[in-house]
């Protein structure tokens, strides 16, 4: 990895970093071996002028809460030198100053946990009207700017300044001023080795701005450059007549049906490595970046009081509305329709809604035996220690199955347990609704108490989905379960 230089901010966030000689610690020091040796060569893939950074895409436009925040945790695992975006950071589309302030405060809190600089780019959701533009300028300064880093020029373009049916801040004068600014920046930085352009709307692929992009391309003549945009929530790569790559990114939490790579409909970030010759781009799917435990971050389960009298799901019930939405941090490609969890003095309450399907197996719903997971069902895995956990299953006929698993033993599944837990299942042959309550007394049998951080997974073998992303392998892999932190609770005394 390239040596890292502290980013210093000045007017228009201009970065100027001098090249450094290769240091002794950047060289592989090996013993002097006669004859054969176990390495291919000693030409270390590093250079003081090279660096890595991350580009994130749209957070909003039907924001899926929690996805962008989780992406920031994943970026911290990768440790790039800085992070930049392509806009649509808040929902916006309002002139309510209080609401806009709250949205920007929320966003700033999310990016505040990054361990490296984050550089903003405005989108149509961020700069929809003059009120939003004024708030941006008060909080963050210019909506278009440039910077240099290791002889690479970055130009942030405010696409909403150009003709746009999505924004009311565009004007002929504003467009002219920004084009003049871009020309001045390019004239003043003719010695760079590459130019990166970042914007929200892909100006090259928008009917209102193709003439604008033609002017910018003329300015970029005889220059190596790459452009990045977002907005469409679907990935696309275009090659210009001059051979430059023009990328439209998918999403990092913005509205998407996530139909997959083939459709360009994914949540991702772009990892960029600047080499001596050119930048190298790698698209990283959010679901493919895991920590050293191959698990997700710890997630706090909310406490909800008063409790529900019965463990049944009502989407209009305030308790379930406030419950932790597991879909916000879901790992497998397929998902249930809804999955929520909360803690109360009664215990852990879990609600899941799935599509109905009739599975043609010999173990039709209600078997209650060792192959109940072949039925339409949900499976709950939870424990406190590395190799021990409870495994609970309830199928669409509300038949329960339970076992205690201890992977340190050869006979690791103990089905002679008597866990007391409640389930309610509503099956209308269109959807199946599962509601489960696991009392604290039952949780205590597996050493779980309020305030603990536990290993947890929610899955369905028959439907091929699970929260932790183990679908396709063994669900019985507790080292890769997710983590939930339970709230502190004062439990009622047992008479």
pLDDT, tens digit (0-9, with 9 covering 90-100), for 84-136: 999 999 999 999 999 999 999 999 999 999 999 999 999 999 999 999 999 99
When mean pLDDT is compared across 140-154, 170-184, 340-354, the lowest value belongs to 340-354
Which tops the pLDDT comparison, 476 or 119?
Answer: 119
Alpha-carbon gap, residue 464 to 482, rounded angstroms: 17
End-to-end CA distance of the chain: 63
Residue 203, φ and ψ in degrees, nearest 5: -60, -25
Q: Which of the listed ranges 245-249, 424-428, 461-465, 484-488 does the model predict with the highest average pLDDT?
A: 245-249
b/e burial code for range 62-72 (CB count within 10 A of at least 16 → b): ebbebbbbbbb
CATH 3.60.21.10 placement within the chain: 11-288
What pLDDT sits at residue 102? Answer: 92
Mean pLDDT, the chain, rounded, equals 85
Q: Which of 165, 239, 156 is nearest to 208 (CA)?
A: 165
Which DSSP symbol is given to 260? Answer: B
Measured in degrees and rounded to the nearest 5, phi and psi for residue 232 equal -85, -10
- Residue 45 pLDDT class (50, 70, 90 cuts): confident
201 has pLDDT over 90: yes
* Listed residue (271, 230, 228) closest to 250, CA to CA: 230
Q: Is the pLDDT of residue 392 over 60?
A: yes
* Total count of residues recorded for the chain: 495
* Domain 298-485 classification at class level: mainly beta
Q: Which of 58-67, 296-305, 350-359, 435-444 has the lowest mean pLDDT?
A: 296-305
Q: Report which of residues 287 and 455 the model is more confident about.
A: 455
Alpha helices, DSSP H, located in 145-240:
172-188, 210-219
Please, where in the chain does CATH 2.60.40.1190 lie? Answer: 298-485
CATH class of this structure's domain 11-288 = alpha beta
For residue 2, the cross-strand partners are none
312: pLDDT strictly greater than 60: no
Would the pLDDT of 365 be above 90?
Answer: no
Place of tokens 């801040």: 169
- What pLDDT was estimated at residue 260? 87
pLDDT at 316: 55
């Amino acid at each position: 990895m390239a040596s890292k230089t502290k980013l210093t901010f000045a007017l228009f966030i201009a970065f100027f970093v001098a090249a450094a000689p290769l240091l002794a610690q950047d060289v592989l020091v090996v013993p002097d071996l006669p004859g054969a040796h176990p390495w291919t060569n000693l030409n270390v893939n590093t250079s003081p002028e090279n660096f890595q950074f991350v580009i994130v895409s749209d957070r909003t436009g039907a924001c899926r809460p929690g996805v962008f925040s989780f992406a920031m945790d994943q970026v911290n695992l990768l440790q790039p030198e800085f992070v930049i975006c392509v806009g649509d950071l808040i929902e916006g589309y309002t002139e309510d100053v209080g609401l806009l302030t709250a949205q920007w405060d929320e966003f700033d809190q999310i990016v505040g946990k990054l361990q490296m600089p984050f550089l903003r780019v405005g989108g149509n959701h961020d700069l929809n009207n003059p009120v939003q533009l004024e708030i941006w300028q008060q909080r963050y300064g210019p909506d278009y700017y440039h910077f240099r880093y290791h002889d690479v020029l970055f130009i942030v373009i405010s696409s909403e300044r150009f003709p746009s049916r999505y924004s009311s801040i565009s004007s002929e004068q504003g467009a002219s001023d920004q084009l003049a600014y871009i020309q001045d920046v390019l004239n003043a930085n003719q010695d760079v080795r590459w130019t990166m352009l970042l914007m929200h709307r892909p100006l090259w692929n928008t009917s209102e701005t193709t003439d604008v992009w033609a002017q910018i391309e003329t300015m970029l003549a005889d220059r190596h450059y790459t452009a990045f945009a977002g907005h469409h929530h679907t990935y696309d790569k275009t090659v210009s007549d001059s051979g430059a790559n023009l990328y439209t990114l998918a999403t990092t939490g913005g509205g998407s049906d996530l139909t997959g790579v083939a459709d360009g409909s994914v949540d991702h970030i772009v990892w960029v490595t600047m080499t001596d010759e050119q930048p190298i781009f790698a698209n990283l799917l959010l679901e493919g970046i895991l920590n050293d435990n191959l698990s997700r971050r710890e997630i706090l389960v909310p406490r909800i009081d008063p409790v529900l009298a019965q463990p049944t799901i009502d989407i209009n019930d305030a308790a379930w509305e406030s419950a932790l939405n597991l879909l916000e941090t879901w790992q497998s490609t397929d998902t249930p329709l809804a999955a929520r969890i909360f803690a109360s003095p009664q215990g852990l309450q879990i609600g899941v809604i799935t599509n109905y399907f009739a599975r043609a197996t010999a173990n039709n719903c209600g078997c209650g035996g060792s192959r109940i997971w072949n039925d339409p069902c949900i499976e709950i895995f939870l424990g406190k220690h590395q190799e021990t956990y409870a495994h609970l299953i309830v199928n669409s006929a509300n038949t329960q199955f339970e076992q205690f698993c201890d992977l340190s033993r050869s006979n690791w599944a103990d089905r002679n347990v008597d866990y007391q837990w409640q389930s309610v299942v509503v099956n209308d042959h269109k959807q199946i609704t599962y509601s489960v309550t696991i009392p604290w007394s039952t949780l205590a049998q597996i050493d779980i108490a309020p305030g603990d951080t536990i290993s947890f997974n929610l899955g369905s073998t028959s439907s091929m989905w699970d929260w932790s992303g183990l679908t396709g392998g063994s669900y019985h892999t507790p080292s890769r379960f997710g983590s939930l932190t339970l709230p502190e609770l004062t439990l009622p005394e047992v008479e």
